[in-house]
Every structure is written in C-alpha cells, then in structure tokens.
Amino acid sequence: MKVIISSPYATQSLHGNTISAMRIAGILEESGHDVEVIQSGNSIPKGAGALIALHARKSHTSILAMKQQCPESKIILYLTGTDLYGDIPEGCPLAIESLSIADAIVVSQDASFNSVPVTYQQKTHVVYNSIILPQLDLAEREPDLFVIASHLRAVKQPFFVVEALGLLDENVRVKLMGSEIDPGSAEQAQTLTQKYPGFEWLGEQTYPQALTWMKRSIATINTSLSEGGANSIGESIMLGRPVIASRIEGNIGMLGEGYDGYFDPHSPAELASLIQKVTKDPSYLSHLEQQVLEQSAKYSRQNESKGWLALL
C-alpha cells in the first residue's frame, strides 16, 4: 500500500514529530509498504491508500486534501501533546474537524486516551513509540551528570531546572540539549549557561550525540508541563537510565502510575530533592533503574509494528 505520513516540520528536522514520522515510515517499509513522508501542507502524492497525519491542527490541510483527492483512502490521525493538552481542550475548530474526519485516531500511551473527547474515543487506539538505539560510542556513566533533551519551548520548561540547582549545595551538572523554538530562548539559554556553573545548553545535537549524552548521565530529567509521549523518555528507558519526570499525564502514561521519580512541575524544591536523592541514595537509584527496566518491553519495534499494521 502507498502510505503518506504528514509531519508539521521539515523532513530533515530533529523535531519530535518528524522523528516519529520517520520512525513510523521505517516500520511500514520493513513490512512492504511504499511510504513517503511529507511536510504538512505540501501536495498529497497520487495513488495513496492511507494517510498518517501527525498533529490535528497543523496537518489539517493535508487531511482535507487527502479526503478530497482520495475519498476511499484511510486517514489516521496521530495526536501530539499540543493537540491533547492545547488545541483540542481549547476547542480549536481545525483540530476538531481533523478528529471528525479521521477514520482512526492514535495516541502514544494509555494515559492520553482519556484526553480524547468521548465522542472520538471509540476510534482511538494506543500505539507505543518504539525505540531502536543506534550503535553508540563508549561512554562512562558520570555520577553528577543529568541530561535534559528538550527543544526550547515554554511548555517544556527547559530552564526550570536552574531554579532547582539554586537550592542544592552539592555540585551537580545539567546539560540541556535542544534547538530554539520560542524567540529569544537561545539567548536566555546562553545567559543561564554563563551565570550558573552547573548548567550548560549544548544546542541542537544529532541523534547519536544526544543518546550518548543520555548514556553518560546518571539520570535524565523531563520538566514539561504537558507531553503527548516524549521520545526522550522512551530513549532513556531503553538506555537503562531513570527519568526524573514532572507529574503530568503524558509522563505517567509512559513511566507508569507507580513510578517513584515524579515531582510537581511547579515545585523546584521537589525537583531539587529528587536530584539530591539520585546522587546520594544508591538504593533509590537502583529502584528507579528497576522500574524503567520493567517498562522497556512496551517500546519494542515489534510492539509498535503490530499496532500500525493492525490499523492499516
């Protein structure tokens, strides 16, 4: 089958939506499908039997074009964090129309299912993102190093950790990886790097570079106010690295209700306390490592492949 995958961002970008689009393309190609990834809004190639559209609002034009050009083709809408915790609850008409048109809706973890309007839950499915790690350079784990993989957007709170670092007496290093999204955020990141010795913004990293930094860390940190299902959490799990995560629906859906590494996303003191506990309490660190190991089976290639093939 000819399958089109629509992402809101350029196909060569390192945005999470595009990374997901390219991953899904690889999975479907392995199963014999003819797949083409396009940027949302670009023309729909002829002869497509299905469209997988990431982002209800930003891929709305692609969804409409597919419906008009290929009315018999299947449209699968893959909801992002912005959809689930922004556009849809705010009643964005483009997002709501995309939900209505789609033959099937996908969310990337169980907790997000309940954020889909009840009207559309019957056609909603959970497909977990798979994580296949490339060959990485040898990297020794550094007991004082924490890593955040986040583009610079307010909803991700990329600089929240600096407030927590100010509450710690010990020497802890935090490396932030990601590109500027919000205007002025790169300048802010550079200023904070100069001001706080323990904090460093590394800018955008290649995928292997980002994973190597994560592998070097004692734990990764996710400080988001909302997530659909962060790729970086799945990557951290598959690397065997615990995640100190904000207590939000999207993170709980990936790490589990009973995970013991959550903090209030509005409390720097709670984040500081967990950072300190990870570095000072070996039994706590081992406990978190065991908990992420128990989640790893969900993120296998076979599991995700089964989900997408069943939908097609």
Contact 116, 84 (CB under 8 A): yes
Q: Is residue 247 predicted with pLDDT exceeding 90?
A: yes
In three-state secondary structure terms, 117 is coil
Tokens of 279: 């570095």
Q: What is the pLDDT of residue 66?
A: 92
Q: How far is it, in rounded angstroms, from Cα 12 to Cα 68?
A: 28
Q: Is residue 92 very low, low, confident or very high in pLDDT (cuts 50, 70, 90)?
A: very high
What's this model's pTM, rounded to 2 decimal places? 0.79
What is the extent of the structural domain holding 105? 2-127
* Mean pLDDT across 204-224: 94
Q: Is the pLDDT of residue 47 over 80?
A: yes
Could you give the number of structural domains in the chain? 2
Q: Is the pLDDT of residue 222 over 90?
A: yes
Percent of residues, the chain, with pLDDT higher than 70: 100
Beta-carbon contacts of residue 257 (< 8 Å; ≥ 6 apart):
none
- Alpha carbon dihedral 29, 31, 34, 35, in 10-degree steps, equals -40
Residue 144: per-residue pLDDT: 95
Q: How many other CB atoms are there within 10 angstroms of residue 136's CB atom?
A: 14
What mean pLDDT, rounded, does the chain reach?
92
Do residue 154 and residue 102 come from a single domain?
A: no
pLDDT band at 132 (very low <50, low <70, confident <90, very high): confident
Does 310 map to a domain? no
Q: Which residue has the higher pLDDT, 129 or 144?
A: 144
Angle 146-80-129 from CA coordinates, rounded to 5°: 65
The tokens for 25 are 């393309």
CATH of residue 97's domain is 3.40.50.2000
- Residue 197 domain-assigned (yes or no): yes
The tens digit of pLDDT for each residue in 136-183 reads 877 789 999 999 999 999 999 999 999 999 998 778 999 999 999 999
Q: Are residues 152 and 293 in the same domain?
A: yes
Residue 239 belongs to a domain: yes
**What is the reported pLDDT for 137?**
75
